[in-house]
Amino acid sequence: MKTEIKFPIAKKIAKELSIHNDKRIDNYYWLNDRENPEVIDYLNAENNYTKAVMQHTEAFQKTLFEEMKSRIKEDDTTVPYKFNGYWYITRFEIGKDYPIYLRKKETLNAPEEILFDCNDMAKNYSYFNLGSISISADNKLAAFSIDVVSRRQYTIQVKNLETGEILTDKILNTTGSITWANDNKTLFYTVKDDVTLRSHKIFKHTLHTDTNNDVEVYHEKNETFDTFIYKTKSKKYLVIGSSSKLSSEYRILKADTPNAKFKIFQKRKQNLEYSIDHYNDSFYIISNIDKAINFKVSITHELTTQTKYWKNLIPHRNNVLIEDIEIFKDYLVVNERENGLNKLRIMSWDKKEDYYLPFQSETYTAYIGNNPDFESNELRYGFNSLTTPTSVIDYNFKTKQSKVKKEQEVLGGDFNKENYESVRIWAIARDGTKIPISLVYKKGIKLNGNNPLLQYAYGSYGHTIDPSFSTIRLSLLDRGFIFAISHVRGGEYLGRNWYENGKLLKKMNTFTDFIDCSKHLIENQYTSNKQLYAYGGSAGGLLIGTVINMNPELYNGVIATVPFVDVVTTMLDDTIPLTTGEYDEWGNPNNYKYYQYMKSYSPYDNIESKQYPNMLVITGLHDSQVQYWEPAKWVAKLRDLKTDTNKLLLLTNMDSGHGGASGRFEKLKEVALEYAFLLDLEGIHG
């Protein structure tokens, strides 16, 4: 006789939350304390329950893990790129989880010099991440940053590349990004607020001095802004940036004079967003000045940086979003997006050439790669699609020839891209807007309503989910799943307006778009509500939480990873990391209008006594982006109110944060669990 597995029941301690004469009772507020042993006990009990419920799939999870791992080329190397006299390469070795960073002087035939072997560095940690590496101008020193907790608070150290010695200089609680001045002894870094983790101060450190004496260069006091620092590609300027969701501001300083004062490039103005790059004696600016909602490119002399001096280089266009530029001595490359599709535009400075690289698909991703050298006659870019593995390509401006430097190898022997099909279709939202959906599936599938389908979306911050290739996803496609990306409003897939119409008081469009895409997929017989599954992470987890409150009957199962589901309470707590900087995205609930609107969709606040789909919820104890207690509280409340007997599983990774496990193979184990959850619901176990 099979023993029934009992799920944990979190105790209730009523906490009254009151604002705007509105009272909310939160019975699980007590879970907001990772130092409380009872909280840890509850999370462990949920983990044990998940393990017990999924125990019958453990052998299948192992099969999936080995299958996904077998497609990955374990002894892999990146395409080398040259910077300041050295070729830089990242290598992975068989059986090892972490990268090895190395370089070769002048030629690829030179002896290799190992900069960092992350496998050795990670040995004593359950979580490890090398945040960044920054090489000094004389090539003798490497500043690097590591996080061993997964809270994105990095410690900066410096390595002498001639002796291998790690210097005693140690800087705590940074973003992990490091910028050298040109004197080879001064470095700049960004510090986080101890409580909110907001990037709020820039400091200057001189090597071999006490870090307690580091000089504060800039303090961003506006709590809705973050600050950062970088060096221009020209190596001439250090740049301090400050940005919120709606405006930006930069300060510049010649990198040869690190002890001088930074000067403001252009003072912040509400709703003025801009970014800057430098070449020769000019700055190149991408901005939304003069109502250029999709951005335009301007140029100005380095001595006259205010907006009144900016001259149009590429004008604003209503149907083309400018995402990025790359400057070369003879050419400007512009990364544009039109009708949802990436386009790489090549423009010669002498104005004799202006054309686009040709891409033949509606479900592809193209992007500018690593191009550190102004003098190069080649553009390095990347390309992949839902059916085509990633290629790194060098395009020669002079010969107009492309050379594939590397195509991602899919091992295992049975992959053929011709076996898969990808299409883009359009659903009609309830307000008449056409919503694009990118689909991929194995050829030969009959669209008769009997296919399992996994629908994915994100839909926030203007972040676009491009249709890209995944070797991991093949484990679903080969078992009959269709995979769909719904390009809902809130991203920038169809331009800046697409984002503006999915944020603040128009946020509901993100959720209803997803639901209307689900209905379209069902009505057009790609799947049925008995075989439709939804997946989202972080703000995409908010999307999942909201749509299953609104239309739970559409989905047989959902997966929500690190989901942002307790929107109102989190946005009212300005001590939580990210909160104040998010007001321009979600609204400030201290304002009644935003409070009321936010409360209308917040997943945690809208749980009802009704049936919900099967659910797998995953979080990390040390998550700094979405605190673990949001999904923990959500699951506890769902357990109390839902009326069905469907699965509801919570898995908390006790060693990780927002990005999950740190090793490349450890991550696959998490995916194997997610896929086993979906496939088990379909009765597929092999």
Query: Do 506 and 541 lie in a common domain?
Result: yes
Q: What whole-number distance in Å separates Cα of residue 322 and Cα of residue 320?
A: 6
Please identify which of the residues 623, 655, 656, 680 carries the catalytic annotation.
623
Q: What whole-number distance in Å separates Cα of residue 106 and Cα of residue 403?
A: 21
pLDDT of residue 658: 55
Q: Which domain holds residue 281?
A: 273-318
Determine, yes or no, domain membership for 375.
yes
Pull the structure tokens for residue 383: 């390309």
Q: Report how many domains make up the chain.
A: 3
pLDDT of residue 3: 64
Determine, yes or no, domain membership for 535.
yes
Percentage above 70 pLDDT, the chain: 98
Query: Do 389 and 505 lie in a common domain?
Result: no
Query: Do 506 and 595 lie in a common domain?
Result: yes
Q: Of residues 577 and 520, which shows the higher confidence score? A: 520
Determine, yes or no, domain membership for 59.
yes
Query: Do 370 and 490 lie in a common domain?
Result: no
Percentage above 90 pLDDT, the chain: 89
Query: Do 455 and 469 lie in a common domain?
Result: yes
* Ranges assigned E (strand) in 36-165: 81-83, 86-91, 100-105, 112-117, 129-135, 141-147, 154-160
Cβ-in-10-Å burial (0-12, 13-18, 19+) of 303 comes to exposed
Please identify which of the residues 145, 658, 662, 680 carries the catalytic annotation.
658
Determine, yes or no, domain membership for 90.
no
pLDDT of residue 626: 84
Please identify which of the residues 538, 602, 656, 662 carries the catalytic annotation.
538
Cα 255 versus chain centre, distance:
30
Question: Is position 538 annotated as part of the catalytic site?
Answer: yes
Last residue of a domain, one of 351, 384, 409: 409
pLDDT for 1 beyond 50: no
Reported as half-sphere exposure (CB side, CA atoms, 13 A), residue 214 has a value of 24
Express each pLDDT in 353-408 by its tens digit. 999 999 988 999 999 999 999 999 999 999 999 999 999 999 999 999 999 999 99
- Going by C-alpha positions, the residue among 327, 325, 318, 180 that lies closest to residue 255 is 180
> What's the pTM value of the predicted model, to 2 decimals?
0.91
CATH number of 540's domain: 3.40.50.1820
- 111 with 128: CB under 8 angstroms? no
Question: Is position 622 annotated as part of the catalytic site?
Answer: no
Express each pLDDT in 259-293 by its tens digit. 999 999 999 999 999 999 999 999 999 999 999 99
Query: Do 307 and 423 lie in a common domain?
Result: no
- Going by C-alpha positions, the residue among 201, 195, 150, 198 that lies closest to residue 171 is 201
Express each pLDDT in 530-584 by its tens digit. 999 999 999 999 999 999 999 999 999 999 999 999 999 999 998 876 677 789 8
Express each pLDDT in 623-643 by its tens digit. 777 899 999 999 999 999 999
Query: Do 308 and 283 lie in a common domain?
Result: yes
Mean pLDDT of 6-29: 97
Q: What is the distance in angstroms between the CA of the first residue and the CA of the last residue of the chain?
A: 25
Query: Do 394 and 424 lie in a common domain?
Result: no
Q: Is 259 helix (H, G, I), strand (E, B) or coil?
A: coil
Query: Do 565 and 448 lie in a common domain?
Result: yes
- Residues 6 or more apart whose Cβ sits within 8 Å of residue 72: 411, 471, 664
Last residue of a domain, one of 318, 338, 353: 318
pLDDT of residue 197: 86
Determine, yes or no, domain membership for 284.
yes
Cβ-in-10-Å burial (0-12, 13-18, 19+) of 572 comes to middle
Determine, yes or no, domain membership for 267.
no
Query: Do 365 and 391 lie in a common domain?
Result: yes
Query: Do 403 and 496 lie in a common domain?
Result: no
- 498 with 441: CB under 8 angstroms? no
- 650 with 584: CB under 8 angstroms? no
Determine, yes or no, domain membership for 404.
yes
Query: Do 575 and 646 lie in a common domain?
Result: yes
Determine, yes or no, domain membership for 105.
no
